[in-house]
Amino acid sequence: MTETSIPSVTLTAAIEAAALVLAEQLGLGDEARSNDDWPIDEGDQVLRMVFTGGEVGMLVLAVNDDVADRLQANQALLDRAFLAAIESIATITGLQLSGDVTRRNTIPLPVTTAMILDAGSLTALAAIVIGPDTAATPGSAASTPSVNAAPVYEPVAVDALSGHMPSASSSAMSVLHDVQLLVTAELGRTTMPVRDVLALAPGMVVEIDRIAGSPIDLLVNGRRIASGEVVVIDEEFGIRITEIIPAGDQR
């Protein structure tokens, strides 16, 4: 670990705060916890932003390759999240810090680390690296003349996290967890000429394409994803799911 004048208890609070900011703004999880383990080797690539001010260092985020690609697809969001996280570090440490641009590269050993968790499962690791050598890390502001230089896309080795890191799809999809969808229960359908629709009146019966006892379709945004049977719960109708429709058969 690199030596720093910042007390270790302050660094621990700073990385937890920064990790939580990254988790919330990038949709990586809902909890951040300080951690002594850093299974990322020197030479492995991570997402990181160099900061300068009262200290020279960098904020680091280690995720798997697919998540890193997804995050870098929205560079503006990634930069905003890192800058907000560095601001939280500055607030806790009392230092005046300013960030650079988020890039993908290797890092020296960090001084303090934190786990990012989503519903208790590890999704990413965050770390703070302190020391003058961080500013000279390949691809940082000190060695790259243009802040718009293309990031380096090489594999990020996070094999040491196997068994802890969830799949790329679960991490990537977590950002959509709060998106609302329209769920509809459909008893059946029929086709009618316009003249018959215009002739509808109270008391008339419309025959549909479903026999008595047939399952009810459950549609999400108009797409049939399951079927079930009608139940009554506290005087309100509900559907008990009896079948999930395979993806190839959904329509």
In this prediction, residue 1 carries a pLDDT of: 42
In this prediction, residue 75 carries a pLDDT of: 92
In DSSP terms, 59 is beta-bridged to 49, 128
In this prediction, residue 82 carries a pLDDT of: 95
| DSSP letters spanning 139-180 | TSTTT-S-TTPPPP------GGGTTTSPPHHHHHHGGGTT--
Residue 109: pLDDT band (50, 70, 90) is: confident
Instruction: Give the distance from CA 104 to its chain's centroid.
Output: 18
pLDDT digit string, tens, across residues 199-218: 899 999 988 888 888 888 88
Is residue 117 over pLDDT 60? yes
SS3 13: helix
Residues contacting residue 106 through CB under 8 Å, at least 6 positions apart: 42, 43, 44, 45, 46, 137, 138
Q: Over the chain, what is the mean pLDDT? A: 79
The pTM score is 0.53
Is residue 197 over pLDDT 60? yes
Q: Which two tokens stand for residue 130?
A: 């302190």
Cα–Cα distance, 119 to 167 (Å, whole number): 14
pLDDT digit string, tens, across residues 20-69: 999 999 999 899 998 887 887 766 778 999 998 878 889 999 998 888 88
Residue 87: pLDDT band (50, 70, 90) is: very high
Residue 84: pLDDT band (50, 70, 90) is: very high
Domains and CATH numbers, the chain: 8-175 (3.40.1550), 183-249 (2.30.330.10)
219: phi then psi, degrees, rounded to nearest 5? -115, 140
In this prediction, residue 142 carries a pLDDT of: 37
Rounded to an integer, the average pLDDT of 95-103 is 89
In this prediction, residue 248 carries a pLDDT of: 66
pLDDT digit string, tens, across residues 146-184: 333 333 333 344 444 444 444 444 444 555 566 778 888
3-state secondary structure 84-133: HHHHHHHHHHCCCEEECCCEEECCCCCCEEEEEEECCEEEEEEEEEECHH
Cα→Cα distances 221→35, 182, 225, Å: 42, 5, 10
